[in-house]
Amino acid sequence: MVDKIVIEHLNLQYTDGTESLRNINLKVPVNAISVLFGPAGGGKSSLLRCLNRLNDLTEVQVVSGKILLDGENILDPKTDVIALRRRVGMVFARPVVLPMSIRQNLTYGLELANEKRRSKLDEAVERGLKLSALWEEVKDRLDDPAIALSGGQQQRLCLARVLANQPEVILLDEPTSGLDPISTGKVEAALQELKKDYTIVLVPHSVQQAARMADYAAFFLQGELVEYAKDKELFTQPKNKRTEDYIEGRFG
């Protein structure tokens, strides 16, 4: 398996000096779901935000280390972050639909890139909605305001919005944390289909979701990468005591 993203010796800290992540070395294989899980405050979200340089907007700074996307270090100051963010898309924990119609939400990313051709835009709308399993539900009301959709539909719209941009990597930060079980199931099913063509990095909101989704799993605790394994190994035979304690629910 080729590695899409390689994280080398990454150290992160907050602007007030406290450490966020310590010496992270991690490989994210292509076309698979890599899961980053662990208790709150472990640094998973901060790491996720470094992968599309969204940490530039927050109080998290990179102290040292590299993040290689297809071999190129995206932490280099000369990096074109705009292009990077089109290649690496992100879905956030709370669904954030832009105050526009469903269609406009989906074409927003392409319009940012100055895509004006009607045919390309319509194609992207349909593609994104079909890939996130939302097409059948909204195809007749694409010009309705996106805010009218239910919570689960809005989150799938956010996924569709990222997909319309034709990324290579999809980052998801607790994407189903506010959703009911049926919507969660739909999102998870969509991701299982998407992993055939996209590299997916997922921060789950529960250990069970981590176990369901992981092709590769990484356990983070208080800024450290404690354990990493393929498939469900981490959940059935954890090698580290701390991993086992967390999975067993002894702390959380």
Partner 1 sequence: MNKSPNWRETIITAVIRTCGYSAVVFVILIFFFLLREGVPALAEVKLGDLLTTRWYPIENHFGILPLLTGSLVVTLGAMLIAIPFGIGTAVFLAEIAPRWLREILKPLVELLGGLPSVVLGFLGILLLSPFLRVFLNLPTGLTALAGALLLGGIAVPTTVSIAEDALDSVPQSYREGALALGATKWQTIWRVTLPAARSGVLTALMLGIGRTIGETMAVMMVTGNAPVMADKLTSILSPVRTMTATIAAEMGEVANGSTHYHVLFFIGLVLFLISLVVNILASTVIFRSRKRAERVLS
Partner 2 sequence: MKRGFTLDRFVIERLGVALITLTAVLTVVPIIGVFGYIIARGAPAISWEFLTAMPRDGMRAGGILPAIVGTFYLTLGTALFSVPLGIAAAIYLAEYARENWVTRLIRIAIINLAGIPSVVYGLFGLGLFVLFLKFGTSLLSASLTLSIMTLPVIISAAEEALRAVPQSFRTVSISLGGTRWQTVRRIVLPQALPGIITGIILGLERAAGETAPILFTGAAFFLPRLPNSPLDATMALPYHLFVISTQVPEMSIQIQYGTALVLIIFVLGMNLIATVIRSRARAKRQW
- Residues forming the site for partner 2 (CB under 8 A): 52, 54, 57, 82-83, 85-86, 89-90, 92, 94, 96, 98-100, 108-109, 111-113, 145-147, 158, 161-162, 165
* Count of positions on this chain that bind partner 1 (CB under 8 A): 8
Q: Which does 197 bind (CB under 5 to 8 A by kind): partner 2, partner 1, none?
A: none
Q: Which does 6 bind (CB under 5 to 8 A by kind): partner 1, partner 2, none?
A: none
Distant-in-sequence, close-in-space partners of 196: CB < 8 Å, separation ≥ 6: 31
Strands across the sheet with 60-69, in order? Answer: 19-29, 3-14, 60-69, 72-73
Q: Which is nearer to partner 1, 72 or 143 (CB)?
A: 72
Q: Which does 162 bind (CB under 5 to 8 A by kind): partner 1, partner 2, none?
A: partner 2
Q: Which does 89 bind (CB under 5 to 8 A by kind): partner 2, partner 1, none?
A: partner 2
Report yes or no: 35 and 218 within 8 Å, Cβ to Cβ. yes
Residue from 250, 54, 91, 52 nearest 179 by CA: 91
Q: What is the CA radius of gyration of the chain?
A: 18
Binding mask 68-97 for partner 1 (x = CB under 8 A): ----x-x---xxxx-xx-------------
The answer to the question of residue 113 lying near partner 1 (CB under 8 A) is: no
Work out the widest C-alpha separation in the chain, in whole angstroms. Answer: 56
Per CB under 8 A, contacts with partner 1 among 165-204 are none
Q: Which is nearer to partner 1, 168 or 245 (CB)?
A: 168
Give the C-alpha separation, 240 to 38, whole Å.
13
Look up residue 190 and give its two tokens.
């969509």
Q: Which does 248 bind (CB under 5 to 8 A by kind): partner 1, partner 2, none?
A: none
Rounded to the nearest 10 degrees, the angle between the axes of helix 151-164 and helix 118-131 is 130
Q: Which does 1 bind (CB under 5 to 8 A by kind): partner 1, partner 2, none?
A: none
Report yes or no: 107 and 157 within 8 Å, Cβ to Cβ. no
The residues binding partner 1 (CB under 8 A) are: 72, 74, 78-81, 83-84
